[in-house]
Every structure is written in structure tokens, then in C-alpha cells.
Chains A and B, each alone.
Chain A
Amino acid sequence: MIPEPVLRVEDLHLRFHGIQAIAGVEFVLAPREILGIIGPNGAGKTSVLNCINGFYRPQRGRIVFGGGDITHLPPHRRAALGIARTFQNIALYPGMSVLNNIMTGRIIRMRSGLLACGLYAGPAQREHVTHRAVVEEIIDFLEIEEARGQLVADLPYGIQKKVELGRALAMDPQVLILDEPMAGMSTDEKSDMARYILELKEVRSLPMILIEHDMGVVMDLCDRLIVMEYGKKIAEGSPDQIQRNPDVIRAYIGHADGGTAH
């Protein structure tokens, strides 16, 4: 029996002023699955992610999450439902500490009003302590205790990437969308990040959609891949199948007899 998918993307079309960014993409994300999206630059990978979390409104198609149609919900409602993501270019608050940056991920889970929080008394205080505990668990998970109090702007790139993942995790996500989580990282940092991703999948059963250019990482981490080119899905399958797929090899190398997709 096929398990009920967490997320379903149906017949997605997106056009900007006559440019067809996405032309009929379809896929599902199963529970506990890491789905990789690969393809050349400009293939529309990030556009798909932007449609899923609501930054872009597709002209056609449907996005179903947790059994409900979310195609027309604004981004913050989708976030509240449990869709969290990280960005290709780090989008943190550089002037705030690591702790506070991750804390912003909790905002959508906060119940107390402005006045109660300002007074920091009673239920608001208790709530803050609960949220702080969640954030500390994440800091512990990502092993960034040393950076806790530092401003994000003062931190090396690799740690900023971790903080961004931390903020996404702080939203208690049901699905995690990672846009090039390892771009610009050293080998050590990449292996750390891979460890976190695998642990999130195995221990917290968190399904993920991942865009990444490091093919070694993609092939190792992902359970299933879809390949995009010119806004279309040209292939789908396990990493093994994808590496042997002639269409994929052509998209990457330009001709069909060029060996593997590496």
C-alpha cells in the first residue's frame, strides 16, 4: 500500500511576463522521505519551492498539503500549517543574536499578545520559557552553543547556514524545504549538515525537499529525485535510476553517451 503523501503538487504552471518558469510539474512527497530536485541553473527548481511556500502564485495547478488545498493560502498561513524552509541566499537578521534569530521561528507558535509579552508576566513568561527551551534543544542539536550569544553578522558562513536551518526547525515543521543547504560549505561542514539532515529524517521522521548542486550529497542523501529542465520534469526515480537515465545525462552533459550524471 502506498502511504498517504504529505505533500502533493499537481499540474503546476507558473509564468512571468511571458516566460514559462514552470510548465506542468507534478510530484508527491511521501512521509519520512527526502526528495531531491536537481537540474541545470534556471530550470525552475527554486520557483517550485516558492510556489509551495506561497511566495509565488501559480497560474494553474494545485498544491495539497496535509489533505487540504493550500494553493491560495498566504505564506504565513502555510508556515503555521508546518511548511518551513531555508533559503539559497541566507535570509537571517544579521543584527540579531543566534538565539533571537532562531527564536523568530517560534513567533508563529506564540499565543500571548503584545501587551502580555511586554509585561513579561504570568502566562506570557511561562510561554517564553517553553519557547526558549525548544530553541535550546535546537541549539544543542546543531551544536552551536558557542555562537548562541553572537550576532549573526559576525559568524562564518557555515554557521549562518546552520542558524538558518535552526530557525526553520523552530517552526515545528511538518515538512522542511531546503534550498541549497550546502552551497559554499567546506567538506567538514557539508558532512555535518548531511548528518543533521539524516538525523531529522530518521529520528524525527521529518520529510524534506532538497535542492542541491553537489551531486555526491544528493545521491547519498535523497531517497528519490526529480530532474527539471526548462520548467519541466524530465525524469523521476531513485538516485540509481537517475544516474542511468539518458535524458538526465543529456540535460547535464549535452549528449547521451557522456557517462554518468556526475
Chain B
Amino acid sequence: MATLVERPTHLPPRFALDAAADTFPKLLRRNAGLFDDRIAFREKDRGVWRPITWREYYRHARAFGLGLVALGLRRAQILALVGDNRPELFYAALGAQSVGAITYGLYQDSLAEQLTHLVDFSDAQYVFCEDQEQADKVLEMETRLPKVRRIVVEDWRGMWRYGHPKLVSFAEVLRLGRDLETSQPELFDQLVNAGQADDLAIFCQTSGTTALPKLAMLSHRHLIAQGMNFHAVEPHIGRGDDFVSYLPFAWIGEQMVSTTLHQLVGFTVNFPEEPETAQRDFREIGPHFTFAPARIYESLHTAVTVRILDAGRLRQWACAWALAVGGRVVDLRAQSMPVPWWLRVQHAMARWLVYRPVLDKIGFARIRVAWNGGSPLGPDYFKFFHSLGVNLKQIYGQTEIAGISCVHRDGRVHFWTMGFPIAHTDLRITDEGEIISRSPSVFLGYYKNADATAQALREGWLYTGDYGAVDPTGDVIMFDRMSDVITLGDGSKMSPWVIEAMLKFTPYIQEAMVVCAPGGSTLAAILNIEMRSLGKWAEDRGIAYTSYADLSQKRHVLDLLHGIVRDVNRRLRPEWRVRRFVSLYKEFHPDDDELTRTRKLRRRFIAERYQHLITAMYTGQATFDATLQVRYEDGTTREIKTTLQITDVDQSE
């Protein structure tokens, strides 16, 4: 084993925490005293940003927790939570943890079937639903959830006809809690004091790119240690900062910031009015830092690029000039070369004329740091954001290590790496090339899945399943999932992700998956067009289309895609070049199990589902007649028949 960084090999078995603040409920109680009337949350409600103080946060969490006790909840039972991010979701989570429960956040866009399966698997006795939409999903399958005792619904709107005996409103739970508090004023403190750092705090669904989702079990100590070790390398995050919480509560990254860092540091978490207004509300707040998966940065890049293409000639020229200047400065800095004075002058001008107005449009005007997590972001995107002056950093980690093991350091942001380990974190590469890591935050195991636990957790090390290496700079490089790395005909290894990231770096391609023929001879790509920008592109050229499927097969569109693939090929080694591609008639979607809920490709599933298409690409067919079941958001399915064009990529230089 090659050790990445010299560190004491023996880590203390337990990361020491202050006993008065070693669980989230204790932290919240401390913060309520410490911060008092400072603003913990801000929620846009009925058009106005409404502040919620730390004291109110604590008061609501206390009432909710006691309300659950009144409804019969006992220590170590499970509360499943599903809904859009709102303060109430956090009251419920912290309240439940206060009385010793484990919380489990579910993705709110899950279909009823998936949701039921997960709730049942988790053995949750209590379910918190944010609104009617989520309650309907749970109630629809209620007969298959024998273990669920009560279903709490926060927003009662539209629920006036519902009379299910297990249903109880959020307001009613709060009322029960206040009654219990009046009769037993000491109870809440006793329950909070009984909580131990090593008690389980949350179940967190792993992204599951490989198989059915697994529930990682994480204790308060795991999560708090993670927050402290991360804050140690990003110490500039402070109380005066604003953060906008709009990514799924179920995602470990959101837990990490909106619960852990929030409790440790005490900044303000802002909640958008509705998911549809998130972008505008994000801009209104103008947060100081943000943490998002690659998909968000990819779509921001698309949005900016499309707007530039839409602008008049002068503005287009100014943007092109500013991005070129930014790019040159970024390149020079990357090589530690001095930036000449004339370039500095241009850079300063570009900042005032272009970068600041552009960043303001996407709500990045005050951003000090933007972290990308979940899955890596292509170097082209990194260069784009850095050219605009955004300090974009990669975060690397797994749910199993409470979210983060590596992050780029300021001034050392290498676009091709995953960054450097955070405090108290060890990282190594096994002889097989697998990245393994160890820290006080490595999880306890997967709930009810001993086999998967034994696979991931060996002698205190987390086996990530990622194929990687150490960069000469000391940073970690992650090529791809071990199982996704392609072995080419000459025996060399290649990561399809590298090519996909390059293909996606245009506003016209939403998603790409590169596949390799058996024997490593032919590389082929399945592309998803980006409907919004390509639709506009087509309209500008007078190309009529009816649907996604129709647009995806238009000759002009295929020509455009061909040009993009050819340009990418020119930047790749000959044996890495894409030989053939197809424009798929639909987008990959989590509801079809093609993407995870955090929008990572589920390669094996896609390869299986489209195996005939992929074989057709390898065997040199020019067209492919596809029949596919498409599942709609309401759960109904329909059969689609269509003919796909398979394009040979011109390999001339």
C-alpha cells in the first residue's frame, strides 16, 4: 500500500468532543442559549423573507420531539422524513433526535413504489410528510407499511377530506408536545441529556450507482467530527454567512451543511419559497458559499452560455474577451507563473464589465467558495468558473464517511484532482488501485445489510470502490468507479467519465455515456440532447420539431452533435476516441432507474436496458429500431417505437 501523506498511523479510536455539545440536540440547546435572537433560518413565505431565531428553532424542535413522545415514540425508533426543505423539516429532525430517535431523509421526488419500499425497509414507525403530495404517496401504499404507526403531515392544505386514523397534523404534534412539557417540564432536558455521541443520528441513503440503495448508519460523533474536520480546512465559514438550502434533505451534502455545519458555526440557512422559485430566491439571498452536485454547475454553465449566445454582438464579443482573459490568468496561475501587468489591467476591467454582472445573474455575486460534491465535475467546467472568478472547489467523499474526505485547498485548486484530505483523515491507494480512507467519521455499517458492510468496511478502512491515484502535488485523483473503468485492447485503463465530461461541456448535450465493445476495440457514446438550449437552437434555424424524441433525430441536430464529438476527439488520444454515437430519444431519468437521485449515471442498468442498441453500435448498424417502456411521473407507462440513427464519427484530423 502506498501511503498518500505521512501521518501518525494510529488515529485515536474516538474523536474527542465536548461533552456538553456531543450530539445535535445538545448543540441546538447550546446554540439557543448562545445565539438566542440571532437568525438561524430565513424562509420565503408569502413573498416575504421571514426570519426564525435560534430560540424559535429550539422551541419548535422541543415541542415536536415531545409530541412524538406523547404519540408513543421511544428511543432508537426511526422517523422517516420526506418533503421539500423547510424549517419544519429541521424542527422535526432535531426534535426527533432530541428524544433519541434516528432520522432518515428520503428523496422527495421518489415514486410511491420506491418510497414505500424504502420506508418499509428502514423499519420506520413514524413518517413525516411535508405536504399532501408526499402524504398521498405514503397513504396509497399504506397497507404495505404495517410497521408505520403515525404519519405526520406538515402542510395540511388539500387534506380536509382525509380521515386516515394514522394521520396527524404537524400542528397537533406540536400541541401534544407543549401539553407534555407543561405537565413534565424536566422531561425534555432529561431526554436530551440521555443522548450519547455514539447513538445513531441518521440513516442516509447512499447514491447506489451500483445496486439498490443502501442505508448508511451514522452517529452524532461521525457527523459532528466530520463538520469539525471540514471546518478546520475551510475556517472562513462564519456566523455572518448566508447559505441557501434547496438540494434534497436526503443528500448527505445537504445534511452536512444545513445541519452539521449550521449547528457548529451558526450561519443563516435560507429556504426558497417553492422549488420552482429556488433559482430566483437563491439570487435574492446571494449566499456566501454553496455546495451542490455537478449537475447544478453543468446547468449553470448551460444557462450562462445560452444567455451569452442570446445577447447582441457587442455583449457576445465582450463575454468572449472576458472569458479569454480569465482563462489566460487561470492558466498562468495554475503554472505558478507571474501575470503580466497588461493582463492584470484587462482582468480588472473584465471583472467589472463582465464577471460581476454575470455572477449576479446566477446569484453568485457574494460567493466566496462553491463546492462541487457528489460526483466530479469536468476540468472544462472548473476552468470556466475560475475564469469568471468563482472559487470553485472539488469535494470528494462518500456517504459512508459522512460526506467529505477531501477538498481542494485555496490556491491549490488543480482541476483534475479531488483535492487534499481534510483534518484527521487518512487516504491510501491499494495495490489494485482502489481508494480507501479512514477518519473518525467512517460509518457503522449499512442497515440490515451485513454483506455490503463487510465489503465496504475492513479493519477500520472504508473501501470506496473508486479507482484512483495520488497526484505528484499530493492531491487525490479519482478516475472512476472501479467497476466502470474500461480496459482497452492494449491493456491500458481508461475512464469513460473523462470523455463524458468533455462531451457534456456544451450547452447542447445534457448527459453522455461512453461504452466500450468487448475486447476494448470500439468506444461509442449515447448522448442526451439538452432540450432547452437545443430547442432554441433549432427554432433560430427554422427547424420544426414536435417532441424531444423528434428533435433528437433531426439531421441538423445530428450534424451539430457530430461536430461536437469530432472536436472532443481531437483533444483525446487516438485509442480514447469515440467511433460512433447515438442521440437517444429520451433523457436518462431517475424515475426510470437510469440515474441516481443525485443524478449520477447508473451504468450497469443503462448498459442492460439498452443492450441491443449498444450491440447495434458495436456491430456497425446504421439505424436501430427501438421499443421502450416509458414511465411517466404519475407512474403510468407507455410503449414508444422509434428509429434511431447511429452516426459514424469522422476520424480525420
Contact = CB atoms under 8 A, between A and B. Distances in A.
A139 B274 CA distance: 12
B277 A139 contact: no
A145 B272 CA distance: 11
Contacts of B161: 202
Nearest to A195: B158
B47 interface: yes
B47 A139 contact: yes
Contacts of A133: 46
B160 A136 contact: no
Interface of A: 99, 132-133, 136-137, 139-140, 143, 145-146, 148, 195, 199, 202-203
Contacts of A199: 157-158, 160
Given A145-B277, A203-B160, 20 more contacts: A99-B47, A132-B47, A133-B46, A136-B47, A136-B48, A139-B47, A140-B45, A140-B46, A143-B274, A145-B273, A145-B274, A145-B276, A146-B276, A146-B277, A148-B47, A195-B158, A199-B157, A199-B158, A202-B160, A202-B161
A235 B273 CA distance: 47
Given A145-B274, A146-B274, A146-B277, A137 B46 contact: yes
Contact of B46 (A136, A143, A202): A136
A202 B159 CA distance: 11
Contacts of B160: 199, 202-203
A137 B48 CA distance: 12
A133 B45 CA distance: 11
B251 to A, nearest CB: 23
A145 B278 CA distance: 11
A137 B158 CA distance: 15
A145 B158 contact: no
Interface in B63-82: none
28 contacts: A99-B47, A132-B47, A133-B46, A136-B46, A136-B47, A136-B48, A137-B46, A139-B46, A139-B47, A140-B45, A140-B46, A143-B274, A145-B47, A145-B273, A145-B274, A145-B276, A145-B277, A146-B274, A146-B276, A146-B277, A148-B47, A195-B158, A199-B157, A199-B158, A199-B160, A202-B160, A202-B161, A203-B160
Contacts of A148: 47
Contacts of A143: 274
Most chain A CB atoms below 10 A, which of B46, B48, B160 = B46
Task: Please give me the 9 A-B residue pairs with the lowest Cβ-Cβ distance, nearest first.
Answer: A136-B46, A146-B276, A136-B47, A145-B273, A145-B274, A146-B277, A202-B160, A145-B277, A140-B46
Nearest to A203: B160
A78 B594 CA distance: 58
A5 to B, nearest CB: 25
A169 to B, nearest CB: 15
A143 B158 CA distance: 12
A240 to B, nearest CB: 21
A174 B380 CA distance: 61
Contacts of A202: 160-161
